[in-house]
Structure 1
Amino acid sequence: MTVSLTRADDADKQRAFLILLANPVVTAWTDPGGYGLVHRHAHTLGVWCARLGYQLAHLDQCYRLRRTPIAGTVAQPEGLPPERALLLLVLYAAACLDDHRDDSITLQELSDTVRLSAAGRGGWPYDPNLHRHRTLFISAMDWLVGQGVLERLTDDILREGWAQSGQGIGAGYRVHRDALVLFIDTGDVDLALRPPADDDDTRRQRLLRLMIETQALYPGELDDDDRSYLTGQRLRLAGFAEQMTGGTVESRADAIVLSIPPDRELPDSLLLGFPAASARDWAALAMIERIGAATEGSFRTLPLADVRRMAADVWADGGSRLTAELRESPAAVVAAVGHRLAELGLLRTSDDDWTLTPLAGRYRDAQLSTGESTGQIAGETTDETTRESGGQQMLMEGS
């Protein structure tokens, strides 16, 4: 009984830690269950954060994971960053909310304030008369709602009406100042600009950050000093990562990969979720297989001209079974697959070529099949994780 309770307690701590990784600001009104877990295990979480060189800040009913930079850098998860215009609107809105004295505000009111603030500083020209800018602004507000800074008080009707016409109040929000204070805290700016002292050994923190934040550490990309440290401390670092996340570390010569087990209570952003039962992911698997067969090494690079040729083959194989979007042209396959693999951290792109990361090797040797009689495309992956769960069949999305 004691062992069972201990395991359940460990699982709760790991879930709380993962919630912080996915949502650095956790509040009692955005995620009551997650906040309860973080609050209950705050001491242990503080110790774990210190291992990574992070800090766990607490104010009233809010917690924030502060990813303090080392020598101006942080471990940035693989994938596509948010649109720059969206981030600018989030920052402008947060700064304007800091000057707002009331406990509530409307969408239209905040939009007007942001427009004047951006124009007064000569910054990005936010124009709420443009539908695209209004849509971006609503996305920025949704971001702040997700961080607990704002809490919506009205339904979708007013907001959708404002997005379409720019008329009305748009929406009403409650302002949570405790979450706002943690969200806009600039106390780490100096750490981002200040180089570390010569006697500071940050190797453990930096490598552990890579392992946990990106879930894939590539020894070939490390300098000699870091690679030497990893050789001697690989098991210890893997043990820390598994203890804090509940995941499993797979160690290979070209990659150290952290696999987090599926959990419905965890945010989707922590789980790879690939391959899904979609035509796009079938095409992605087919491209991984073709590129892998035509290249060698850990990071498999192929010129963009060859990528387009392979995409044309995938497009021809799929034919009418593809979705309407993918049926447009081989270029549509290149765009859709490139975006999908990049957001998963399986692909790095440039103007001249595509490079599959070692993590993409998990999804090679897929047994793809075309269901001629049903007009469906299916595939069964053969990586270890999928085999253990009995395999995964992929069916076509409706076009």
Structure 2
Amino acid sequence: MKALTVNKRFEEQSAFVGLLTKPLVTTTNDGKLHRLVIRHQRQLTEWFRRLGYRLIIAGQIIRLHRTPHAGTIAAPYTSQPPRRRELVLTLLAAAACEERDSATTLQAISDQVRVITSLKTSPVTAYDPEQGPERSMLLLAVRRLESQGVLVRRTRDEEMLRAWEAARTGIGAGYDIDRAALLQFLDPHTVALALSAPTGGEQDLLAATRWSRMLRVLIETPALLYADLNEDDASYAASMAGRLAEAARTMTGGTVEVRGEGLVLILHPDHPWTADATLDWPKAAAASWVALRMCDAAGTIGQRSADGCVSLRSHQVDALASRLHRQHHADLTDHFKQRPERIRPAAEETLRDAGLLHVDDTGNWTLTAAAGRYRDPEPGSDWNTATSLMEDSE
């Protein structure tokens, strides 16, 4: 019985992490995750309720709605989010699928999107399939719907897709439409909460949702750091650190480090979807090494605060980049050797994506307390010969 209980909890935690990485699940886009969620839906519904999320199971469709609090959600920073045009075309492609019964083609979706956006009442820029970049963007949008299970491709010939993208020849690909998944793709209630303007009761709402908001940050982002919170939230999180850590451990099966500057969740490595929920960094790539070098050097010269953050003025950051180029010139790849001005932007983008850096409008740096986990990186002997470290692999 005990072994069965342990296995049941492992499956529940795996499904919980899986749904965080894939919030719309069908039998087609992830059959394994679908089976686990159906098997443990009662426990998963309760766990997501603690986060203020809604888990909807409608027939064979599973949808996790991340309900915003006061128009905000917890999400890791990314320097390269999906382009606005791609997201707009994704919604338009979904609308185009509404006009079909059970099957469609890439060309049919393209034609319908052109019709929708050519209307005088259309609030978006008209889609022009004669333009190659527009076709490429629509293809990205359709692939997004495919990954969500809304579209199920019936033709697997990639050459047909390439021919349509390059020259608009053929149908591109044929798809079955999962209308149940399409219905759950967007939730008007969630969208309205995300777009709603702040009201007079915003502070009361933030106070009432403080537990779920702090738990969201711990589970959804690299770390819950007190320095990133306002004074009330920071005091609350510090006083509830033990309970927050226990809740995160229970739901994810991971390990939570409770430190003076905040909490860090490390997911269980054996869960099937841990890799999808974990930032793949640092990588064996030049940009990662440059970022780690800059981070390490900044920690030695910056002004350290009581909460573990390190601050540098913009001119100090420029000086660090110049020193890195000068002192480690032989270790750098040609991308950075020939253009030293590339060092700072690469380091900033990499460290911000890793949740280790904040940059203000004037270029000043603030390294988070978590940056202290990364120390003194050294390049290997095959630094400039390993393919994985060359610029075209980044």
Give the shorter-chain TM-score range.
0.7 to 0.9
Shift of 1:284: 1.7
Q: Quick one: distance in 2 between partners of 1:324 and 1:126?
A: 40
Q: Deviation digits for residues 210-260 of structure 1, max 9, x if unmatched?
A: 111113112123333323322332111110011111111112222211111
**Greater shift in the superposed pair: 295-304 or 285-294:** 295-304
* Structure 1 pair 225–324 and aligned structure 2 pair: CA distance change class (3 A): same
- Matches of residues 239-388 of structure 1 in structure 2 within 5 Å? 239-263=246-270, 265-266=272-273, 268-295=275-302, 296-297=304-305, 298-319=308-329, 321-353=331-363, 354-363=365-374, 365-369=375-379, 371=381, 374=382, 376=384
Structure 2 residue aligned with 1:381: none
Asked whether 1:57 is paired with 2:68, we answer no
Q: Quick one: distance in 1 between partners of 2:383 and 2:63?
A: 49
* Structure 1 pair 377–303 and aligned structure 2 pair: CA distance change class (3 A): farther
Q: 2:242 aligns with which of 201, 226, 235?
A: 235
Q: What 5-or-longer segments of structure 1 have no aligned partner?
A: 379-393
Q: Quick one: distance in 2 between partners of 1:185 and 1:152?
A: 24
Structure 2 residue aligned with 1:45: 44
Secondary structure of the equivalent of 1:188? Answer: helix
Q: Deviation digits for residues 158-209 of structure 1, max 9, x if unmatched?
A: 1111121122211211111111111122122444438568487211111111
Shift of 1:271: 1.1
Structure 1 residue aligned with 2:163: 161
* Structure 1 pair 225–335 and aligned structure 2 pair: CA distance change class (3 A): closer
TM-score (norm 1): 0.86
Structure 2 residue aligned with 1:87: 87
Secondary structure of the equivalent of 2:208? Answer: coil
Q: Quick one: distance in 2 between partners of 1:87 and 1:157?
A: 25
Q: What 5-or-longer segments of structure 2 have no aligned partner?
A: none
* Structure 1 pair 165–355 and aligned structure 2 pair: CA distance change class (3 A): farther
User: Alignment RMSD, CA only?
Assistant: 2.6
* Structure 1 pair 153–312 and aligned structure 2 pair: CA distance change class (3 A): farther
Q: Deviation digits for residues 111-154 of structure 1, max 9, x if unmatched?
A: 22222322321413433222222222211111111111111122
Name the structure, 1 or 2, with higher relative contact order (CA <8 Å, separation 6+): 2
Q: Quick one: distance in 1 between partners of 2:330 and 2:132?
A: 35
- Matches of residues 27-176 of structure 1 in structure 2 within 5 Å? 27-80=26-79, 81-98=81-98, 100-120=99-119, 121-154=122-155, 155-176=157-178
Q: 1:180 aligns with which of 164, 179, 182?
A: 182
Report the count of equivalent residues: 379
Secondary structure of the equivalent of 1:368? Answer: coil
Q: Deviation digits for residues 51-77 of structure 1, max 9, x if unmatched?
A: 011110012211111111112221122
Q: Quick one: distance in 2 between partners of 1:138 and 1:335?
A: 30
Q: Quick one: distance in 2 between partners of 1:209 and 1:334?
A: 31
Contact kept? 1:55, 1:66, Cα under 8 Å: yes
